[in-house]
Structure 1
Amino acid sequence: MSGRQASGYVSSGVGATGAVSGGESGRAVRGEARWPSVAAVLVGILLTLARPKEMRLAPVWVLPGVEVVLLAVLIARDPGRIDKRSSLLRGVSIVVVALLVLDAMVATVRLIAVLIRGGSMTNSPEKLLAAGGVVWLSNLIVFALLYWELDAGGAANRAHRMPRYLDLAFTQQLSPEVARPGWRPGFGDYLYLAMTTSTAFSPTDVMPLALWAKMAMGLQSLISLAVVGLVVARAVNVFT
């Protein structure tokens, strides 16, 4: 068995959905559009600006400034559609997502600490619900980006070839007959996955198969449950 086959990738060019990848069949590779993920990053940045200052990781300008510079590098090196496989671009993309994930985790921990200890913010149900909503939505966005970035080696890798052994199994991959030929998950699919995980607190129609995917979905469910439960309980207590 060759090293390529041993790595879990289909050597014949047929992906998990049964579709022939563009790079293997001689057809032009058509990656997914970049704008949905860029829009998600920009929303994530705006949400950091909307948080109370005690829930920020750094001064208000630091994270937006760094993220905008990194996004500019990604767009300049691979504009339009994501189809260029590059270790540099992959590294920059991972840093963009990692910074947003770290910032959201810090905000979540600080929100929970405020809810447990109490503070000026917890005396106003409007401010409390607004802060909780911002943190909850931030986590939804960053987990969508995390799934999108890590699944099957990232968007550029998915455009060229899907692995035989999936990290996240979508319905279209488990039942190829319901999908169009050559179907690949895009950012919207990962956003839907993050939304259902945050609201159902468990997998719905997308199954985590890789360990990292199971851990990420479990963590997102716990975070969502803790934020919603504690914020609502505290708000009700303030109202009464």
Structure 2
Amino acid sequence: MAHDDLDAELEHRRAGEGEHRLPPAVAVLVAIVTYALLPQPLLVGPRLAIPAVEVLLLLSLVLVNPVRLVRRTRWSRWVSVGLACVVILSNLVALGMLVATLSDSSADPGGLLLGGMQVWLTGVVGYALLYWELDRGGPVARHRERRDRLPPADWRFSQDEDHDTVAEVAVSSSRTSGWVPLFVDYLYVSVTNSSAFSPTDTMPLSTRAKLLMASQATAALLVSLLIVARAVGSLGG
């Protein structure tokens, strides 16, 4: 794209006020509550220890951008990435505990099935947060920077290549409308990757994106297999 076109497209994006804080904040709260309600056998340490850390990290981010994501500092970006990593890593530990608990014949089957679904949901949120923060420099950069100054994209959305299709589709393409992905777009990517165990309409481009999606799909597949195995075992018993 020519510089004049890039500048015009950037001004179009800047006409908004930046991405709203509410969707990712709600997603984090869902992950916090879901983890706090996990069955005791899937927890390491006090029940509220990890949720408390996540709440403190979230509050620090809200102080920087209470309503709209318009400010970016190095520490806030690291805190945002760190929050997503805490959600993901604590959830993977819970998955490991779930695997270990399945061998315990005295464990509550219903509780383990519910715990498996909670682990799946928390994984969806955690990876969505990380995808959202990593891609193209993060939410603030995607809204404020010219495209030729953004870091290379980690994911290619369908809007990124729809500019030469029929008019009613091309009108919402990245090149035509200045569209950039929001949190809900990364949440959709995370849901479909955890459901289909592979990319659907959004393709990973970078090595880190491929590795992250592979780890998420593997964890989600393992959770699904464990839930099915436990359900079959319960029926057989």
Under TM normalisation by the shorter chain, which class is it? Answer: 0.7 to 0.9
Residue pairs, 1:15-34, within 5 angstroms: 20-22=9-11, 27=14, 30-34=17-21
Shift of 1:118: 2.8
Structure 2 residue 68 is the aligned partner of structure 1 residue 89:
no
The corresponding residue for 2:157 is 170
Q: Secondary structure at the match of 1:21?
A: helix
Counterpart of 1:134 (choices 101, 111, 118) is 118
CA contact (8 A) 1:172 1:178 kept: no
The corresponding residue for 1:179 is 172
Shift of 1:178: 5.0
Shift of 1:171: 0.3
Shift of 1:98: 1.5
Structure 2 residue 111 is the aligned partner of structure 1 residue 118:
no
Counterpart of 2:54 (choices 62, 67, 75) is 67
CA contact (8 A) 2:13 2:178 kept: no
Give the whole-Å Cα distance in 1 for the aligned partners of 2:47 and 2:77: 26
Q: Secondary structure at the match of 1:165?
A: coil
CA contact (8 A) 1:147 1:190 kept: yes
Letter in 2 for 1:21: L
Structure 2 residue 204 is the aligned partner of structure 1 residue 208:
yes
Counterpart of 1:104 (choices 88, 91, 95) is 91
Give the whole-Å Cα distance in 2 for the aligned partners of 1:84 and 1:14: 25
Q: Secondary structure at the match of 2:9?
A: coil
Shift of 1:71: 1.6
With the length of structure 1 as denominator, give the TM-score of the two structures.
0.85
The corresponding residue for 2:65 is 78
With the length of structure 2 as denominator, give the TM-score of the two structures.
0.86
After TM superposition, the structure 1 stretch with the greater mean CA deviation from structure 2, 91-100 or 157-166, is 157-166
Give the whole-Å Cα distance in 1 for the aligned partners of 2:91 and 2:216: 11
Shift in alpha-carbon separation, 1:197–1:26, aligned structure 2, 3 A? closer
The corresponding residue for 1:38 is 25
Give the whole-Å Cα distance in 2 for the aligned partners of 1:13 and 1:218: 39
Give the whole-Å Cα distance in 2 for the aligned partners of 1:100 and 1:89: 17
Shift in alpha-carbon separation, 1:58–1:174, aligned structure 2, 3 A? farther
Shift in alpha-carbon separation, 1:90–1:13, aligned structure 2, 3 A? farther
Letter in 2 for 1:114: T
Shift in alpha-carbon separation, 1:38–1:11, aligned structure 2, 3 A? farther
Shift in alpha-carbon separation, 1:130–1:105, aligned structure 2, 3 A? same
Give the whole-Å Cα distance in 1 for the aligned partners of 2:219 and 2:111: 20
Structure 2 residue 187 is the aligned partner of structure 1 residue 194:
no
**4+ residue segments displaced more than 4 Å:** 25-29
| Percent identity for Structure 1 against Structure 2 | 39
Is there any run of 5+ residues in structure 1 with no aligned partner, and where? 1-9
Deviations 1:149-179 (A, max 9, x none): 1111111111112437321000001223252
RMSD value, Cα: 2.3
Shift of 1:212: 0.7
CA contact (8 A) 2:13 2:143 kept: no
Shift in alpha-carbon separation, 1:77–1:97, aligned structure 2, 3 A? same
CA contact (8 A) 1:51 1:131 kept: yes
The corresponding residue for 2:41 is 54
Give the whole-Å Cα distance in 1 for the aligned partners of 2:153 and 2:71: 21
